[in-house]
Structure 1
Amino acid sequence: MSGSLSHGSVATRLPAQDLARARRFYSEKLGLEPFDERPGGLLYRCGDSFFAVFQSTGASPGTFTQMGWEVEDLKAVVDELRSRGVRFESVDAPGFRTDERGIALVEGNYPSKGATGERAVWFRDSEGNLIGIGQPVR
């Protein structure tokens, strides 16, 4: 079906109560600059995907992962972000625990990619959005 969602692109939208504060966080802490911007919203490009941060009067509960990156070298990314002041969450859930560096082994993730699991970390942006970064374990 040409009108099917399976042929569309997925783009994440993250709420921000203070858009200027969010822009500073994404720039200073994550090293990202908006690809495009308009009143009330910032659009970021990472690889061939996009995500938007938009002005909102509501706040995220931050109780679940709202957006995630998949990277090739999780340790290098964690080291870089830590050097920029990003603080990683300790997430303990059934089936995995974070180690002293804040990295968790999540068994069983990404089997369709030939992986046996995922190494992952989580952090909150300036607006309380919970964001994950993962690396498939092969």
Structure 2
Amino acid sequence: MFTKTRAFSGFSVNDIAAARTFYADQLGLDVSEEHGMLSLNIAGGIPVLVYPKTDHVPAEFTILNFPVSDIDAAVSELTARGITFENYGLEQDATGVHRGEGPPIAWFKDPAGNVLSVIQQ
């Protein structure tokens, strides 16, 4: 039934204007707005929908991962753009990068409290 459909993902925020500023200005993504919702126009051609929700509750898990080739450079650039990395009590270095099992990864939050990551491929 869905073999030819272009599925897409979405998540909620409590403030569309703050989300637009964060995703466009701080992260540097191509962001468009229509009908009071945002589309994060990421590589691959399938946008991620960001929609307002008055009683928004942030997800307690990573909702969006950004693959990078050099996590140290990505973390450094994002830190310079005002991003603060989360520490979840794992083996993370001083910059917030977890280098244990799996690929190196660092987590941060959007203004609505949703968890995002940069992950080295």
TM range (shorter): 0.7 to 0.9
Q: Where in structure 2 are the equivalents of 1:9-28 lying within 5 Å?
A: 9-28=6-25
> Runs of 5+ in structure 2 lacking a partner?
none
After superposition, the C-alpha distances for 1:24-65 in whole angstroms (9 at most, x for unaligned) are: 11122111231x321221111221042121111132334211
Distance 1:134-1:8 versus aligned 2 partners, 3 A rule: farther
Q: Identical aligned pairs, as a percentage?
A: 31
2:73 paired with 1:123: no
CA RMSD of aligned residues (A): 1.8
Query: Could you say what secondary structure the match of 1:82 adopts?
Result: helix
Greater Rg over alpha carbons, structure? 1
How many residues align structurally?
Answer: 120
TM-score (norm 2): 0.86
TM-score (norm 1): 0.77
| Aligned-partner Cα distance in 2 for 1:118–1:8 | 30
After superposition, the C-alpha distances for 1:87-136 in whole angstroms (9 at most, x for unaligned) are: 000122xxx421111000241xxxxxxxxx21000000011101111113
| Aligned-partner Cα distance in 1 for 2:99–2:57 | 26
Q: Which of residues 83, 90, 95 in structure 2 aligns to 1:101?
A: 95
Match of 2:33 in 1: 37
Distance 1:60-1:68 versus aligned 2 partners, 3 A rule: farther
